[in-house]
Structure 1
Amino acid sequence: MTISAAEAAARAGVVIRELSEIDEFRQVNRLFDDIWHPDPRNVPVPLELMIGFAHGGGYVAGAYDGGTLVGASVGFLAADRTLHSHVTGAAAGRGVGYALKLHQRDWCRERGLRRITWTFDPLVRRNARFNLVKLGARPEEYLEDFYGTMADAINEGDASDRLLAVWQVDEDDRPAADAPAGDRPPRALLACEDGRPVFHLAGGEVVLVGTPPDIEELRRTDPGTAAEWRAAVRTALGGLMGAGGEVVGFTDRGEYEVWVH
């Protein structure tokens, strides 16, 4: 059972509230600039869209430590009683992002929405672990080069492949589902060996797809190996999901557990 949104905010030392004033939206833009250092032509969300989303009934919220904005999330209403959480950024290491997600979940429940969706880079281990293990969201689609070229300090030089995460919010809290029990332990289709992606023959009901320990550092220090990882995970994870495979978990070793139907 997850803690409440209020408890999570208290633990993080923040107050979370919806935003409505132009100066608040400018604070969000400055926070996102500090996190991603984007090219001015490639900001995570333009000021005008934030204003439009907030005015049109979307979700624009900020987490404040005193008078300082330390986290923010921007989302818009989508089909099938869904909130698409377009971008969330927060100070690292203190639970602000988790508090924002729980606030977002309660916001959706109050409005009768069924689920929250967002995209994340399948190569970033900490995000995969947060989304799949801590929140219990599940990837439902592998999206190749979804945003095209992204000119910022975190993504530049890499294809923008993403997983579409789906978080059901209209049900009671429940732990992340375990992988189905098979006749033998899961085997790695793609493994991380000495920092590089290595394919293996793998069979059974559940197979594992590894990830690099730190893809962001790898992009800076060894872009060739980073590109190998992108291609390998696209082939392995994207191929499995495209054939009907279901991601059911994420291991402590940084591997996606994929149930092969």
Structure 2
Amino acid sequence: MTSITIKELQSLEELKELAILEEKVWGTPPLPTHQTLTVAKNGGIILGAYDNEKMVGFNYGFPGFSNQQVYLCSHMTGIHPDFQKKGIGFSLKKKQQTVALDRGYNLITWTFDPLESLNAYLNLSKCRGIAADYTEHLYGDMDDALNGSLPSDRFRVEWRINSGHVNNDFTIEEKYAKDIPSLVNIKGNQPLPCLDDVENSMLESIEEKDTWLVPVPAKFQEIKKSDLDLALDWRLKTRKIFKALLSKGFVGVQVIKHLDHQSIHHYIFVKKQLLDL
């Protein structure tokens, strides 16, 4: 990995540089610097990742409040296109955890697309957040290259940064189940991975187990580019599955990447009551 340093951003000059990088990453107008500066001075945590003197990544979070609890909303993490897949996102999250604990936060939340399995792997497998709830079309229509014309469904991550689930040394499979059944299967002999039809009988069996696997595409962006109807099929079928699992008290805790089946990864869902949160 490239030698990267991470620091908290608080000056106007640093936040102007962040705005330039944000526009480069997302291709949309950045947050105004008067807003990010106000966040940085009022309980937010804004981090920059640097390759020498060049900012190549950032994480932007602001305080949230619900049910008499203060938490950190980690709203955006962005990495310069030339520096992606180098572990910078995870380094930013670990620094965010350290700073947040120092500030008195115990919970960090953010959202992500449930079908973007690489993001899910970072959020759940590496950081050990949990996929705690699901919102259909959360952000409405999003006019950018990443989201395209699909419904903007999102998982909300709860990252309980002071919990045993996050900080204790164990593997999900060993702790909860070694042979985890799949709630639904993949159709065979398809040029692109396609999910079986979701039968009500499948969903009615959810409470029979403490742990389930749910398949998702390994490369959802490629499916969106090749077959938008198939991408929508994945969205609607997994929406039904994820909402059913969450309604029965399950949460997403990990993504398994399969080297022998490179088109598919799997979520692990576990009953929330079993977790050390």
Q: TM-score range by the shorter chain?
A: 0.7 to 0.9
What letter matches 1:114 in structure 2? N
Separation in 1, partners of 2:231, 2:34: 34
- State the 1:110 CA deviation: 0.6
Which of 63, 75, 78 is the aligned partner of 2:61? Answer: 75
Which of 169, 182, 186 is the aligned partner of 2:181? Answer: 186
CA contact (8 A) 1:187 1:207 kept: yes
What letter matches 1:93 in structure 2? K
Q: Deviations over 1:33-78 (max 9, x none)?
A: 222223x4xx5x4433312211212011101111111110100112
Which of 76, 88, 103 is the aligned partner of 1:87? Answer: 76
- State the 1:260 CA deviation: 5.8
* CA 50–186 in structure 1, closer or farther in 2 if over 3 Å, else same: same
2:94 matched to 1:119? no
Name the stretch that deviates more: 159-168 or 210-219. 210-219
* CA 171–187 in structure 1, closer or farther in 2 if over 3 Å, else same: closer
2:243 matched to 1:245? no
Separation in 2, partners of 1:168, 1:25: 28
CA contact (8 A) 1:143 1:162 kept: yes
CA contact (8 A) 2:128 2:253 kept: no
Separation in 2, partners of 1:209, 1:110: 36
Q: Deviations over 1:156-185 (max 9, x none)?
A: 211111111111212462245446349x74
3-state secondary structure, aligned to 1:61: strand
2:267 matched to 1:256? yes
What letter matches 1:188 in structure 2? L
1:8 alignment partner in structure 2: none
2:126 alignment partner in structure 1: 134
Name the stretch that deviates more: 143-152 or 45-54. 45-54
Separation in 1, partners of 2:149, 2:106: 36
Which of 192, 197, 200 is the aligned partner of 1:199? Answer: 197
3-state secondary structure, aligned to 1:35: helix
- State the 1:144 CA deviation: 1.1
CA RMSD of aligned residues (A): 2.3
What letter matches 2:26 in structure 1? W
Name the stretch that deviates more: 100-109 or 164-173. 164-173
CA contact (8 A) 1:73 1:100 kept: yes
Separation in 2, partners of 1:258, 1:101: 22
CA contact (8 A) 2:15 2:33 kept: yes
1:222 alignment partner in structure 2: 227
| Structure 2: runs of 5+ lacking an equivalent | 259-264, 273-277
1:169 alignment partner in structure 2: 161
TM-score by length of 1: 0.85
* CA 46–157 in structure 1, closer or farther in 2 if over 3 Å, else same: farther
CA contact (8 A) 1:12 1:99 kept: no
2:275 alignment partner in structure 1: none
Separation in 2, partners of 1:69, 1:143: 33
Which of 50, 54, 67 is the aligned partner of 1:64? Answer: 50
TM-score by length of 2: 0.80
Separation in 1, partners of 2:113, 2:160: 20
Separation in 1, partners of 2:233, 2:141: 17
Separation in 1, partners of 2:185, 2:39: 40
CA contact (8 A) 1:116 1:169 kept: yes
* CA 17–260 in structure 1, closer or farther in 2 if over 3 Å, else same: closer
| Structure 1: runs of 5+ lacking an equivalent | 1-10
What letter matches 1:16 in structure 2? I
